[in-house]
Amino acid sequence: MTYALVVGGIIQSTRNTPPPAARRLDTGAWVTPLDGIWTEALAAACGWLPVAVVARTADTATHTSDYAVTLVGGVPTDTWTVRAKTQAELDATTSTTNGAAYWPRPPLPSPTTRHSWRSHPPPTHRRSPKSKRSPDR
């Protein structure tokens, strides 16, 4: 979850979690939550409000969205502004698409088929049996 620090109706910063310690907006006292775990009420007392999540619209071939957190009715909210892609973004998409024609590449043959330890196939003819020597020789 994302939190936004809202002071005087202006978003000061955003974080994934409130900081380890923060100053209460009503009393000015520093607060360090027990075990580092913030409750929603304690975080809100220090100005850290959860950001309402809004789904991003899907990119098209010519348009993309920029992200920002804005106050909508006093609630920090994800905001996606659709805009035309820049020439650099279009070029990057084209180079990625062109590279897809070469990937995935076909697999290489296995090393055992490319570099066989045998240079010739085994013989298919039978060898004649060795003649037996007579014991008297």
pTM comes to: 0.62
pLDDT at 89 over 80: yes
- Residue 92: its pLDDT value, please? 85
Per-residue confidence at 36, pLDDT binned at 50, 70, 90? confident
Which of helix, strand or coil describes residue 23? strand
76, β-bridge pairs? 71
* Residues 93, 107: Cα–Cα separation, whole Å: 26
> Which H/E stretch holds residue 96?
helix 87-100
What is the structure's pLDDT at 21? 94
Q: Tell the burial category of 38 from Cβ atoms under 10 Å away from its Cβ (0-12, 13-18, 19+).
A: buried
